[in-house]
Structure 1
């Protein structure tokens, strides 16, 4: 009889432990599911915000820039097209057309935006959308060599300046607007020459010799802007609009 009683007690204890274990497992799974649902909801919100920001580009101001990059698969430099838009919304939104990108690319965009905002030709609005279109064969986009080009693109959304189409750019940026050195300058310069660009801006100290194209080293964003931006004809002689622009931007011909 005592044996049967002990067996019954053991069975009851086992059932209680199983119930507690199952309950804990259910609670853990429920919490996990809740976190996943919250993550999906957050993703949906971010997608909705990006879609909303992208939808405002029609009322914003846009520029198209070329981001010079090195394609390791091909073993050559290429110019990656990008659309830069200043839009009437808050935040910066980056779309790399379905290709993964590194944190360095995002930081490059933020630094470019902050540099343009602090310049004498800030973007027209407080938000921006950047659409980058790398080759479909690429799996990931990395590096920070696009910052200088993006900063010029952001600045060119100011209605009183426009991009100088004869000038191409490569270079990173630090937070104070100093141009940072990058890799593969020679290959990028050769690609720019093939695209009929007459002047290629590179970080100071990284000058290379390429026949048929002027290579100019620049140390700061302000210096790069004197080559890469032209004053828009509509603002010549206008002293009331865009008072944040301190002086006309004139093309400097390299000597």
Structure 2
């Protein structure tokens, strides 16, 4: 075996060790995620929304005396797990007379974190409008090109849509918002804001609302470098973080506005 064969053998062994280590780390992370989602799912199934209200013989303001549906639609933007790019879709809210249930349409597939976010959005919307939801059912449906909905970043959008339905209003079709919804109506930061902004602009959104501090977005630029070792040429790929001002980047195409609370978004 000459020295070149020895080097190739060493690289092969190192590559196998690297693959094995990566697989073990990935497997451990997946187990952790599955445990977390199981805990959240159990919490969601056991949780019942309770909002302090006074007894009233009148039906909720958003359902008329004939029991007709009050509804609204809002844009959402998710990150595709297969490409890492933004994907624009919609959330439909329907409110009918019922028993205070919150129903989530799980087609496309909805992960437990999203279901928790939906319930948080209902609480925030009910508190914001002063609405009694104990005599109404709220149904949340997603339309987003087969993408798995897996994170809480649609929480703010869902809360906005529920508020609109409760108040008998509609959300502008050319507006989108990304951000989690937190107790007290605060909007939390999310990942992939740059990719979501690009998708929003391509989807003819004219106003894109983002959490405070995220107008300055980070994206990762792919770069490659060739190195030569013992006569062999290797191409290394790596990603360099870049900061971009979304207001400047989208100037003339789309307004990017920071919001801190649900009150600023509606």
TM category (shorter chain) comes to 0.5 to 0.7
Give matches, 1:207-246, under 5 Å. Answer: 207=215, 208-209=245-246, 210-211=249-250, 212-225=253-266
Comparing 156-165 with 112-121, greater Cα deviation is found at 156-165
Q: Distance in 1 between matches of 2:114 and 2:169?
A: 25
Q: 1:161 to 1:122 in 2, by over 3 A?
A: farther
Give the distance between the partners of 1:121 and 1:204, measured in 2 at CA.
26
- Cα deviation, residue 158, structure 1: 2.7
Which of 1 and 2 has greater Rg?
A: 1
2:110 corresponds to 1:95: no
Which 4+ runs in 1 deviate beyond 4 A? Answer: 121-125
SS of the residue 2:151 aligns to: coil
CA displacement 1:77-135 (0-9 Å, x = unmatched):
001222111121120000121x4322210111001111111113758873200111343
**Structure 2 counterparts to residues 149-164 of structure 1, below 5 A:** 149-164=157-172
Distance 1:196 1:96, change over 3 A: same
**Which of 99, 116, 126 lines up with 1:117 in the alignment?**
126
Task: Give, in whole Å, the separation in 1 of the partners of 2:214 and 2:174.
Answer: 20
Task: State the distance in 1 between where 2:80 and 2:188 align.
Answer: 20
After TM superposition, give the deviation of residue 64 of structure 1 in Å: 1.7
RMSD: 2.0
The yes-or-no answer on 1:72 pairing with 2:81 is yes
Contact 1:122 1:155 in 2 (8 A): no
| Counterpart for residue 177 of structure 2 | 169
- Determine the C-alpha separation between the residues in 2 that align with 1:150 and 1:100: 17
The partner residue of 1:192 within 165, 190, 200 is 200
In the alignment of these two chains, the number of paired residues is 165
Which runs of 5 or more residues in structure 1 are unaligned? 1-57, 226-255
The alpha carbon displacement at 1:68 in A equals: 0.8
Q: Within 2, Cα distance between the matches of 1:126 and 1:206?
A: 36
> Conserved in 2, the CA contact under 8 Å of 1:168 and 1:197?
yes
Aligned match of 2:138:
128
Contact residue 93 and residue 140 of structure 2 kept, 8 A? yes
What's the TM-score once normalised by structure 1's chain length? 0.60
Which structure: greater strand fraction? 2
**Counterpart residue number, 1:85:** 94
Change (3 A) 1:121 1:67: farther
Question: Do the aligned residues in 1 keep the contact of 2:87 with 2:144 (CA within 8 Å)?
Answer: no
Q: Structure 2: state its 5+ residue gaps.
A: 1-66, 216-244
* Range that drifts further, 114-123 or 203-212: 114-123
- Structure 2 length-normalised TM: 0.57
